[in-house]
């Protein structure tokens, strides 16, 4: 994985500043902007997989970017549903102590049960949340490959790709996380928050290049352009 290329490819584009600023401004549009940026990132993934020397796309096809981002969000939500299923019992289980009434011993036992259940389900939710985080690059890569939501719902293929490229996927997610943890506070302090949106757009594009490299190394060729 060419980490240096992922960091610097944006600045090789002659119109990089305009594209980054447009991305930042578009994200200000409620709902639409967030999905559009997600779709734009998919376009970056697709361009890198296609081996384009200047993979930073123009912002001309906003409608397509919005739909790609929306479809990706729907797929990600489907994979995240088990987390919601685990969280719901956690919120409900704390009603148990109320059934103890004035019986202090019974209330204490029910509270202990609530604590154990909460800890167990909480650990499962965290572990599954990490899994969803690792699946994020896979879903973006496979969607960029075909442009079809059904591809992302072939669970066997998705998990097979994840485990076959686990090392690169873990590295990419750690890099994106570290870049965000370092850059966002620094930019927020030094620029009084003025560059938060452009840096956020760059981080999304940075992740797209990393994911595109993973797809390219896996030999995937996008069926759409």
The three-state (H, E, C) secondary structure of 41-57, written as one string: HHHHHHHHHCCCCCCCC
Residue 200 has pLDDT above 90, yes or no: yes
Does residue 186 lie within any of the structural domains?
A: yes
Residue 16 has pLDDT above 80, yes or no: yes
Mean pLDDT of all residues in 153-179: 96
DSSP type of residue 53: S
pLDDT of residue 102: 65
* 174/92: higher pLDDT: 174
Mean pLDDT of all residues in 65-73: 96
pLDDT of residue 36: 97
pLDDT of residue 131: 94
pLDDT digits (tens, 9 = 90+) for 121-131: 888 888 999 99
As a residue count, the chain comes to 225
Does residue 83 lie within any of the structural domains?
A: yes
pLDDT of residue 96: 67
Residue 68 has pLDDT above 90, yes or no: yes
The token pair that represents 4 in the structure block = 């240096």
Residue 101 has pLDDT above 70, yes or no: no
pTM: 0.90
Does residue 222 lie within any of the structural domains?
A: no
pLDDT of residue 48: 97
131-158 as b/e, with b when 16 or more CB fall inside 10 Å? eeebbbbbbbbbbbbebebebbeeeeeb
- Residue 121 CA to residue 115 CA, distance in Å, equals 10
Residue 92 has pLDDT above 90, yes or no: no
Does residue 146 lie within any of the structural domains?
A: yes
How many structural domains comprise the chain?
1
Does residue 177 lie within any of the structural domains?
A: yes
Does residue 65 lie within any of the structural domains?
A: yes
Mean pLDDT of all residues in 99-123: 75
Q: Which residue's structure tokens are 């750690």? A: 174
Residue 2 has pLDDT above 80, yes or no: yes
Query: Residue 43: CA atoms inside 13 Å, Cβ hemisphere, count?
Result: 22
Q: Which residue's structure tokens are 């376009």? A: 43
Supply the range of the domain harboring residue 152: 3-217
Mean pLDDT, rounded, of the chain: 91
Residue 162 has pLDDT above 80, yes or no: yes
Nearest CA among 203, 190, 216 for reference residue 37: 203
pLDDT-based confidence at residue 86 (cuts at 50, 70, 90): confident
First-to-last alpha carbon distance for the chain, in angstroms, is 23
Q: Which residue's structure tokens are 């570290």? A: 178
What would you report as the CA-atom Rg of the chain, rounded to the nearest whole angstrom?
A: 21
pLDDT of residue 100: 61
Mean pLDDT of all residues in 109-121: 79
Does residue 224 lie within any of the structural domains?
A: no
Does residue 225 lie within any of the structural domains?
A: no
Percent of the chain surpassing pLDDT 90: 75
- Residue 59 CA to residue 217 CA, distance in Å, equals 27
Environment class of residue 119 by beta-carbon count within 10 Å: exposed (0-12), middle (13-18) or buried (19+)? exposed
Q: Which residue's structure tokens are 């996927």? A: 169
pLDDT of residue 118: 80
Greatest Cα pair distance in the chain: 73
């Amino acid at each position: 994985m060419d980490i240096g290329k992922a960091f610097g490819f944006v600045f090789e584009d002659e119109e990089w500043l305009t594209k980054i600023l447009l991305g930042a401004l578009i994200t200000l549009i409620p709902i639409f902007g967030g999905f559009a940026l997600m779709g734009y990132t998919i376009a970056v993934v697709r361009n890198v997989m296609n081996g384009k020397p200047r993979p930073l796309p123009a912002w001309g096809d906003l409608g397509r970017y919005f739909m790609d981002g929306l479809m990706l969000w729907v797929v990600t939500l489907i994979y995240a549903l088990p987390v919601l299923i685990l969280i719901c019992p956690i919120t409900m289980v704390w009603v148990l102590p109320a059934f103890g009434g004035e019986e202090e011993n019974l209330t204490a036992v029910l509270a202990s049960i609530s604590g154990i259940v909460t800890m167990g389900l909480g650990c499962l939710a965290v572990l599954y949340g990490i899994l969803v985080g690792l699946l994020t690059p896979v879903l973006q890569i496979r969607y960029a490959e075909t442009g079809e939501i059904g591809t992302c719902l072939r669970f066997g293929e998705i998990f097979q790709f994840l485990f076959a490229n686990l090392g690169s996927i873990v590295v990419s997610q750690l890099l994106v996380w570290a870049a965000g943890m370092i850059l966002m506070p620094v930019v927020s302090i030094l620029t009084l928050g003025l560059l938060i949106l452009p840096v956020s757009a760059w981080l999304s594009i940075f992740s797209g290049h990393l994911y595109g490299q993973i797809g390219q190394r896996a030999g995937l060729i996008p069926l759409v352009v």
